[in-house]
Structure formats: C-alpha cells, structure tokens
Chain A
C-alpha cells in the first residue's frame, strides 16, 4: 500500500496524559498536513510541513500541541496534558510539490480522552 498511513488508528487515554501520533506520507510527497475533525464537522487545519520545515500553524494548535517532521519523511503530532476537548479524529494529509492543491488523507487516529 503506497497511501498515507497513520498509527495508531485509535487511542484512548486519561485526561492529563501525553499522546503521540505518527503519520507516514506517500513517499514522493514533500508537504504534510495535520487536521483535526470533531463529530459532525469538516476537518480543520492544524499545521503543515514542507520537507522538514514547519511552515504554518493554526491558532487551534495550542502550546500543548507539537508536531515534528525531523527527516522530511514521517511526522509525529504530540499532545501534552490531554484534555477532554482534545477528543477528535486527527488526520494527516500529504501532497506533492507543484501547483496543484490535491491533498491525500490517511485513515486518521481517533483520540478519546476520558
């Protein structure tokens, strides 16, 4: 399978714990995006990378959230001191270099904070 993969698919954690999600992009895609989706809503942009550089962060990305893409390939999204409001689907999307805007999504990580 050469699509975008995410791990884990589901995560249940207790409030206050830290969690980390991983995204593996389509191999030739240099841009990687993180989105968050709550029930009944469309995905909302969190941050994106071009290669290893984090180029933009949404105001939704509080200081408890951090994302990395150290070698310009896979990316991790960490949430520290999780809150119940962090419960959502976290989606990763990637796109190739160039002028088109087609982003391809992974299956997502469903986070439940108890």
Chain B
C-alpha cells in the first residue's frame, strides 16, 4: 500500500542551531504541505509546495518539493524556543482527491 515516511521522529537541539527534517512517499504527491502542531491545538499550515523542484521560504523556514515528486524536506534556521512542537508533512496522494495523508511527525525540542 501507499506509505508516507517522515524522519527523524524526534530532534533535540540547542537554540540557534539549524534543523532539517524530511518526508518520503511511495507514490507521487501533487502538493506537499508542512504543518506545525502545538500541544492541544490543531495543525497550523507553514508552507505549501506545488511544483517539483520548488523551493519556498517562510521566514526562517525553507521547504523543497523533490524533483521525483515523492519527497520533501523542511529546514528551520537559527532555531528559537518557540519552534518547539510537532512538524508534519502532508499531501494528497495523486489518486486520492483532496484528502490529506500525514506523516508520523517530527517532535522538535529546542534547549535554550
């Protein structure tokens, strides 16, 4: 079946460090979305990617849509304590219409 893998599962970093996480899927995505979720809250959309090879930034966040359309990464530069949370990649499988499939999430901890 179709699989979406996200890594790493968790990261513990010092404030000021850069962070990178990625997702790989077994099938093509037409869109890659990156969300951040704080405890007890819903996911908040950070970045949306629509074209293979696309590189998009949102402040200290940068994400890329892999050229194979089966992978994406998210980088956070110069991390700060408020970056703490769970980061999810998501997207619709090419054959699944608009419903989103989510990765397992990357739990980020930033030590001041």
A contact residues vs B (CB 8 Å cutoff): 4, 6, 31, 33, 35, 40-45, 48, 56, 58, 91, 93, 95, 100-108, 110
Interface contact A101-B98, CB-CB below 8 Å: yes
Interface string of B22-52 (1 = CB under 8 A from A): 0000000011010100001111110010100
Q: How far is the CA of A103 from the CA of B35 in the complex (A)?
A: 10
For chain B, the count of residues having a C-beta within 8 Å of the partner chain is 25
Max chain A Cβ within 10 angstroms of own Cβ: one of B40, B41, B43, B101: B43
Stretch at the interface among B57-65, B68-76, B89-97: B89-97
Interface contact B97-A56, CB-CB below 8 Å: yes
Interface contact A100-B50, CB-CB below 8 Å: yes
CB within 8 A of B33: which of A4, A102, A107?
Answer: A102
